[in-house]
Structures are given as C-alpha cells and as structure tokens.
Amino acid sequence: MGPGGVRAPPAPPSPPETQTEGLCPGGGGTQLPAPPGGGTARPHPPALPAAPDYDKSQWINEKEKLGLDFPNEKLKPGYLEQLPGKLKLFSNFLGDRKWFAGDKLTFVDFLMFDVLDQNSIFEPKCLEPYKNLKDFMDRFGALEKVAAYMKSSRFQKMPINNKMAKWGNKKE
C-alpha cells in the first residue's frame, strides 16, 4: 500500500530478453526481441548496399527520346471541351451569391479562386460566358489582404505545376 492507504500501480513489465545466440554468424545485422511465450528471435537482415544515385533529370531529359506515347498533350482538347460544362456547374452553384458558401468569405472561396485562376491561365477566355464567376474573381482579388499580397514581391503567379509538367511549370 502506498501513502494514505492507496494501492500503488503495478510495476511495468520487464522488456523481453533478446535472443542472439547462433543467429547472426559474424555479427551482421541486429536482433528482434524474443517473441512472447518464448521461441527464437529472427535477425534483421544486414544493411543493403546503397541504391544507384539517379536523379529525376535523367528521366526528364530522356523520356521524349524513347519513342513512347505520353498522352498529356492529347488530353488537352478533351479537357477544354468539358471545361465549359464544369464552369457552368460552378456558375449555377454560385448563382447571385457573393461567395460560394453564402454571404461570408470562407476557405471554399480561396479554393475556388485558385481553381478558377488556374483554369483562366490555362485558357484565358474560359470565364467569359460566366459573369458571376468573373465578378467573384474580381471581388476576391480586390480583398485588401489578397490584393496586397498579389502586388507584393512574394507573390508568384507561376509556376503552378511541377517543373516536370508540360504546362504551368515556368516561373514568370
């Protein structure tokens, strides 16, 4: 019993014994603890040799020379064909509201601004049929802190994609 008649908690269990005898001839590798209830511990395999030091540029610089089909450019017409339908859905959802989730600015508006902005960079005329989406973009871009950030030296309009992408990968 502990002070005041309170029973002391039990001591934590001891760590299991590590069984090493005869498992690693020559001392290579490390040992796992013995499994509960006895048995033999299995050794970890010795460290593997280092992998070759390849970098991404070797793929990026060579992939176009391989004569393989990389379908990204072929996908662009299909993307542009379905884009008006997707933008119409956004336009209908926004309706005559000021912001996408109602009358107050929310994180959804930041996401939608980003999506609409990237599509406008990809296809500059894509928002022309959707006055409410253009108004949304103007309203969001005119927010005091957003406008200040977009005018600052910290703002980068591009790149919006990784350098491996065919589009949106160059800094302006």
The CATH number linked to 123 is 1.20.1050.10
Whole-prediction pTM: 0.56
Residue 49 lies in a domain: no
DSSP secondary structure, 18-59, as one string: BP-TTTSGGG-S-BPBPPTTS--PPBPPPPPPPPP---HHHH
Mean pLDDT computed over every residue of the chain: 77
Q: How far apart are CA 76 and CA 30, in angstroms?
A: 53
> Pick the residue with more confidence: 87 or 163?
87
How many structural domains does the chain have?
1
Local confidence band at 9 (pLDDT 50, 70, 90 cut-offs): low
Output helix, strand, coil percentages for the chain, rounded to the nearest 5: 45, 5, 55
Work out the average pLDDT over 74-98: 93
Look up residue 15 and give its two tokens. Answer: 């760590």
Residue 50 lies in a domain: no
Local confidence band at 32 (pLDDT 50, 70, 90 cut-offs): low
Local confidence band at 122 (pLDDT 50, 70, 90 cut-offs): confident
Work out the average pLDDT over 52-75: 70
> Pick the residue with more confidence: 136 or 76?
136
Work out the percent of the chain whose per-residue pLDDT is above 90: 38
pLDDT score recorded for residue 172: 63
> Pick the residue with more confidence: 8 or 23?
8
Domain range for 131: 99-172
Residue 108 lies in a domain: yes
Strand, coil or helix: what is 118?
Answer: helix
Residue 33 lies in a domain: no
Residue 40 lies in a domain: no
Residue 147 lies in a domain: yes
pLDDT score recorded for residue 73: 72
Work out the average pLDDT over 116-122: 91
Produce one character per residue of 28-56: b if its CB has 16 or more CB atoms within 10 Å, e if not: ebeeeebeeeeeebebeeeeeeeeeeeee
Nearest to 20 by CA among 46, 42, 45, 48: 42
Work out the average pLDDT over 29-54: 63
- Which of 25-34, 50-59, 74-83, 154-163 is least confident? 25-34
Asked if residue 45 has pLDDT above 80, the reply is: no
Residue positions counted in the chain: 172
Residue 64 lies in a domain: no
pLDDT score recorded for residue 132: 97
Residue 162 lies in a domain: yes
